[in-house]
Structure 1
Amino acid sequence: MAFDLKAIITERQGENYDLHHKYVNRTLAKVLGTIGFDKVYARAEGSYLYDMDGRDYLDFLSGYGVYNMGRNHPVIRKAIEDVLSMDLPNMVQMDCALLSGLLAEKVAEITPPHLDACFFCNSGTEAVEGAMKFARASTGRTRILSLAGSYHGLSYGSLSATHNAQFQEGFGPLLPGVEKVAYNDVADLEEKLKQGDVAAFIAEPVQGKGVHIPDEHYFPAAQDLCRKYGALFIADEVQTGLGRTGKLFGFQHWDLEPDIITMAKALSGGYVPCAAIVTTRKIYQGVFSRLDRCVVHSTTFGRNNLAMACGLASIEVIKSENLVENSRVMGEKLMEGLRALASRHDLIKEVRGKGCMIAIEFQQPRSLKLKMAWKAIHKVDKGLFAQMVVSSLLDRHRILTHVAGHNMDVVKLLPPLIIGQKEIDRCVQGFDDVLQQVTRFPGPMWEFGTNLVKTAIGQKRQKQTAQA
């Protein structure tokens, strides 16, 4: 009997959560059911997902920033089809493949001129791991500095640079020599750099968790300090890169010249994982320093033909469709629309972001009745209110967003860079309606919040019982 994947998918569509409960991450499946995210998406195109009944869902999550060019872009799909149809040799390993050379050439064209050496891998965390190794090898130093609140990935090196207790809990001890720097604090950075043993300072231009943007002077000063004390500056562009912030790269908002860039997510086009470390030839050769070290840092799947084709096609789509400029313009319009809601909803504390990387932060309302409900929710979990908003946006308006991080009153938006006025209007109207619903206490949103509280309390009790 011939293998028929289409028939299998058609026959078993809808079993998604049962299968994951049995064989994959049952905790995730339970959480998604609790917050109302247990949807079954059957199709995707552009800025939208579609369920089995054909209803559209506005995708303002974009796979955590993967789909800058929208889902299932025909140009990228065609590139994959072309590669498959050519029966090219793939992952020979003891060769220098054409497609990886072509993508390295293209990446060098879109990054600053001093960055002319490229290493390909599979994911953002792998790119960060490699960048840390490159920094140590080329400087002969050991310490790595990263910012408080940062997120750089979840494998051991990148997790050590991810200064977020929720992700690090239970996985210690972490990599020695990786230290936290106070956010937006130039003096703290200099105090640590001047010890003279720091290999690199790594930072996201805009922090993914919470969408935090430092003062205008911070990154230029940080780069100057790295040069003064001989440390490398690594720009983690895994989420901010390739147009997300309204510039091709986030560091361009401050005219920076990093020594190493990490990129991933959107480089894949949403089809085949693709990531890159981009650096100077001098730093690169500090790693591959002798003939017997030509593969001292390597990855089996990093230069595979499908990933390289996706990278080439993705860069072409971003360029030819003017998505960087669209990100800037549409992002500003979206933030303007959301900020206008603040005059009607005192729950909105701030709308911030760059390009299509946006956060809406909430604050305690003035109404005495709502203030009591707010405090009750926050006593259990500081992130539950934001989850109420996210779940209501999905339930009432079929808009997919997410909470910006643990213990935050922040909802994060990462729409595809292809969005237009129609998607902006739907998002703003959805937020307006959901925040109006919050003022109805008691009401459906607060009932949902109460259920979240009960679930959270039950989980804490289970954990305490297990530890007893």
Structure 2
Amino acid sequence: MEDLSKTTMENYKEYVNSGLARLLKFMGLDKVEWEADGLTVKDITGNEYLDFLGGYGTFILGHKPPKVVQAVKEQLDLMPLSSKILLNQPLAQLAEELGRIAPGNLKNSFICNSGTEAVEGALKLARLATGRSKIITTENSFHGKSYGALSVTGRDIFRKPFEPLLSGIEFVPFGNIKSLEQKIDYETAAVIIEPIQGEGGIILPPENYLLQVRELCDKYETLLILDEIQTGLGRTGKMFACQHYRVSPDILTLAKALGGGVMPVGAVVATADLWEVFNQNPFLHTSTFGGNQLACRAALATLKEVQNRDLVNSTQKLGDYLLQNLKQLAIKYSNVIQEVRGKGLMIGIEFKDESYGGLLISELVKEGVLVAYTLNQQKVVRLEPPLIVVKKELDSVLIKLDRALSKVIELAS
């Protein structure tokens, strides 16, 4: 096993990414993951970790959820991928289910492979349906790293190396309705926004902000795209985070949790009126692998589990409990913690300096807990455990977090 660990690290250095290999080693994360079940990840030497990162929101049902795995195994024996010529029953069933649970008047879906693909589809649909090209997005946002999605992502460190990106993209501060009022006009095809900024540092909007965004979009006949790739499917204590704010979009993007942590699945969901432009030419936006039977069966089993186990309500209660206890720790360690915030089981701990976050991640690995930064804001360490977490596991992590924070103070002094 030691040889395999060493070989894996050497392969990372030589054939994957040497910079990533150095970073993982520096942070004590140079362990080979080998087996996982529920909230537990085991490395190749048998060490166990509680996964409180949850694949950046992917593992809502934990690792290797039995009913999702079973559904995929059954489909594997029938037909893994689509011929793309005949009717695909799991695809049709998944589109129907998404239309049933989606907020507002959303009805039609295009199933793809990832979040960034979902954003690409949403941008294309918005421009096609409106005949306009201008897109407004927010600073500090994250929508993906493919060309179009990167164009509307609000962090220069990811954008600058690849400029020029798509034209017609304008940025406004998240949560600032006056800035949006100054930018939006009758040339604006869409406003794309995360209900809660995930990679931006778990940033919640002002209470009426999304309602005001919706009103401005309606005024200028502009489409509202809500990116629920990280917040969707129960993560925040509602099936969709926009429901906290009483807002429905014209276009919704989903991914991460949709495949139940077993298959990569993304989706663009929109109103029937908008979808008419795709109905007129069904080959304008297609995907060879998107909507394959394995992925759709995984997504259907995931949605069924979320609803049958009432994970939305339990997430709200457990999230309130975790947030309350984390705020107590923030008071205890106020010399290093700036703020704790979040909704449901999507919580960020913001430190006064990003070095504290790095120390905490390393100390928690030693305690057997996996967490990570938010991508756009490295002062913020996120907690996004699977929604199947129980109070006993939350209590265990809170104790370990207390010990780790104490060690951070010691190391930083």
The TM-score, its normalising length taken from structure 2, stands at: 0.96
CA distance in 1, matches of 2:42, 2:6: 13
- Residue by residue over 1:342-366, the C-alpha shift from the partner in whole angstroms, topping out at 9 and shown as x without a partner, is 3322222211000010011123xxx
1:23 matched to 2:11: no
Contact 1:383 1:406 in 2 (8 A): no
Q: How far 1:89 sits from its partner (Å)?
A: 7.4
Range with bigger deviation, 77-86 or 407-416 = 407-416
Q: How far 1:68 sits from its partner (Å)?
A: 0.6
1:123 matched to 2:114: yes
Q: Residue 351 of structure 2 aligns with which residue?
A: 362
CA distance in 2, matches of 1:124, 1:430: 32
Q: Of residues 63, 66, 74 in structure 2, which corresponds to 1:74?
A: 66
Q: Residue 282 of structure 1 aligns with which residue?
A: 273
CA distance in 2, matches of 1:222, 1:95: 41
Range with bigger deviation, 130-139 or 106-115 = 106-115
Residue 116 of structure 2 aligns to which amino acid in structure 1?
Answer: T
Contact 2:232 2:239 in 1 (8 A): yes
Contact 1:125 1:155 in 2 (8 A): yes
Residue 403 of structure 1 aligns to which amino acid in structure 2?
Answer: Y
CA distance in 2, matches of 1:334, 1:112: 27
Q: How far 1:439 sits from its partner (Å)?
A: 3.0
1:203 matched to 2:193: yes
- Residue by residue over 1:278-327, the C-alpha shift from the partner in whole angstroms, topping out at 9 and shown as x without a partner, is 001111112342xxx22111111001110011010110111111111121
Range with bigger deviation, 124-133 or 332-341 = 332-341
1:425 matched to 2:378: no
Q: How far 1:422 sits from its partner (Å)?
A: 1.8
Residue 61 of structure 2 aligns to which amino acid in structure 1?
Answer: M
1:37 matched to 2:29: yes
Figure out how many residues of one structure are paired with residues of the other and give that number: 411
Residue 332 of structure 2 aligns to which amino acid in structure 1?
Answer: R
Q: How far 1:10 sits from its partner (Å)?
A: 12
Structure 2: gaps spanning 5 or more residues:
none
- Residue by residue over 1:147-176, the C-alpha shift from the partner in whole angstroms, topping out at 9 and shown as x without a partner, is 111000000111010010121131111111
Q: Residue 266 of structure 1 aligns with which residue?
A: 257
Q: Say if 1:113 and 1:179 are closer, same or farther in 2 by CA, change over 3 A.
A: closer
Structure 1: gaps spanning 5 or more residues:
1-8, 364-381, 448-468
Name the SS for the 1:213 alignment partner. Answer: coil
Name the SS for the 1:256 alignment partner. Answer: coil
CA distance in 1, matches of 2:147, 2:277: 23
Which protein shows a greater Rg? 1
Range with bigger deviation, 51-60 or 254-263 = 51-60
CA distance in 1, matches of 2:354, 2:117: 29
Residue 187 of structure 2 aligns to which amino acid in structure 1?
Answer: D
Q: Moved runs in structure 1, 4+ residues, more than 4 A?
A: 9-14
- Residue by residue over 1:110-156, the C-alpha shift from the partner in whole angstroms, topping out at 9 and shown as x without a partner, is 11351111101110000001100000000010011111110000001
Contact 1:68 1:416 in 2 (8 A): yes
CA distance in 2, matches of 1:11, 1:431: 32
Q: Residue 165 of structure 2 aligns with which residue?
A: 174
Range with bigger deviation, 430-439 or 64-73 = 430-439
Structure-to-structure mapping, 1:343-358, within 5 angstroms: 343-346=331-334, 347-358=336-347
Q: Residue 305 of structure 1 aligns with which residue?
A: 293
Contact 1:120 1:276 in 2 (8 A): yes
Q: Residue 135 of structure 2 aligns with which residue?
A: 144
Q: Residue 124 of structure 2 aligns with which residue?
A: 133
Q: Of residues 205, 208, 211 in structure 2, which corresponds to 1:214?
A: 205
1:342 matched to 2:330: yes
Q: Residue 385 of structure 1 aligns with which residue?
A: 356
Contact 1:46 1:73 in 2 (8 A): yes
Name the SS for the 2:385 alignment partner. Answer: coil
Q: Of residues 43, 51, 67 in structure 1, which corresponds to 2:43?
A: 51
Contact 1:393 1:399 in 2 (8 A): yes
Name the SS for the 2:119 alignment partner. Answer: helix
CA distance in 2, matches of 1:244, 1:10: 37
1:234 matched to 2:225: yes
Q: Of residues 319, 340, 346 in structure 2, which corresponds to 1:331?
A: 319
CA distance in 2, matches of 1:90, 1:153: 25
Range with bigger deviation, 382-391 or 323-332 = 382-391
Contact 2:356 2:412 in 1 (8 A): no
Q: Say if 1:294 and 1:404 are closer, same or farther in 2 by CA, change over 3 A.
A: closer
Range with bigger deviation, 238-247 or 334-343 = 334-343
1:414 matched to 2:384: yes
1:154 matched to 2:125: no
Name the SS for the 1:327 alignment partner. Answer: helix
CA distance in 1, matches of 2:2, 2:407: 38
Q: Residue 403 of structure 1 aligns with which residue?
A: 373
Q: Percent identity?
A: 39
CA distance in 2, matches of 1:237, 1:10: 41
CA distance in 2, matches of 1:303, 1:405: 28
CA distance in 2, matches of 1:287, 1:103: 18
Contact 1:69 1:323 in 2 (8 A): no
Residue 344 of structure 2 aligns to which amino acid in structure 1?
Answer: G
Q: Of residues 244, 269, 280 in structure 2, which corresponds to 1:253?
A: 244
Contact 2:104 2:249 in 1 (8 A): no
Contact 1:288 1:296 in 2 (8 A): no
